[in-house]
Chains A and B, each alone.
Chain A
């Protein structure tokens, strides 16, 4: 197996168990909350629970981004415009990236998605759709106008998040079929083929 690996490429443990569990739980909770929001019963109790779970998960991700294992840390995947531009320039190359963690472009997607989810759960907490049964738990802390803005934002952001998730899945497919790099298995097993020497 190891003999078949290209020169300079090695199999390394990249994603720790906490991060992997976070990723898949987040996927389930965001999908669940989204589906319940659009197709669920009028009494949205379960949607609220999924939303609270997303808040907890985002909290975990922020902590993990600050003190977690290497590749999970924000500092590990914060790249400047130069590195990002160089990565984009080689994106069309039909070969695996062998990137040891979030690549510069993927990192942008990660930050955008986490930010969007923070806005979304934040808006949900202050939302009041005037039905007296699905009122955000913090809606009473702000005025009616703010409730309405939060509801408006929450409804709009749902589509933004759908678009970001679509982009995320498209990127996975792009890597899988165009660049011939499997990014799903590493997020399940933790191991990934990486190249440390990027001087080529």
Chain B
């Protein structure tokens, strides 16, 4: 409690000068861009826009798993919602119902692990698993991201 208070006292004046919160938002968006870059590789293969290469698919899937094991705690620092920071698209609901929002991240983690099991092997299996990962993206965007 005291730590939180101290943290709040330290952070509050800094926020007014628009620094760490913006940096956090940028870092958070960077995280999802990384996730997206790897999703993009697999999606292009799924759509036939590029050849299905086992090694590249496996690498992309492994990267996604790696990213989903990343501890996002600091990227969801309080004070970085769309209501507070211009350019942020993270709805305040994330903080208001953190446990629910956390479940979406868990779903992504699970879907990513299934994806990495099949990526690099049968393409149809990879596409199914990729759709589940995309579904996890969608389900969180629908609830917690500003349009």
A contacts, CB < 8 Å to B: 41-43, 129-135, 148, 151-152, 155-156
Contact = CB atoms under 8 A, between A and B. Distances in A.
Contacts, number: 46
A134 B138 contact: yes
B47 to A, nearest CB: 9
Nearest to A151: B147
Given A42-B131, A43-B131, A133 B138 contact: yes
Contacts of B132: 42
Contacts of B42: 132
Given A132-B39, A133-B43, A42 B147 contact: no
B134 interface: yes
Interface residues of B, number: 18
B130 A132 contact: yes
10 contacts: A42-B131, A42-B136, A42-B138, A42-B139, A129-B138, A132-B39, A132-B134, A133-B43, A133-B131, A133-B135
A134 B39 CA distance: 13
Given A132-B40, A135-B43, 18 more contacts: A42-B134, A42-B135, A43-B131, A43-B135, A130-B137, A130-B141, A131-B134, A131-B137, A131-B138, A132-B130, A132-B137, A133-B131, A133-B134, A133-B137, A133-B138, A134-B138, A148-B147, A155-B147
By CB atoms of chain B within 10 A, which of A41, A42, A43, A155 has the most?
Answer: A42
A19 B135 CA distance: 38
A129 B134 CA distance: 10
A132 B36 contact: yes
Nearest to B133: A132
Interface string B109-147: 000000000000000000000111111111101000001
A141 to B, nearest CB: 14
A131 B130 contact: no
A135 B133 CA distance: 14
Given A42-B135, A42-B138, A130 B36 contact: yes
Contacts of B39: 132
Interface string B35-72: 01001101100000000000000000000000000000
A135 B136 CA distance: 15
Q: Nearest 5 pairs between A and B by C-beta?
A: A42-B135, A133-B134, A131-B137, A131-B138, A132-B43
Contacts of B139: 42
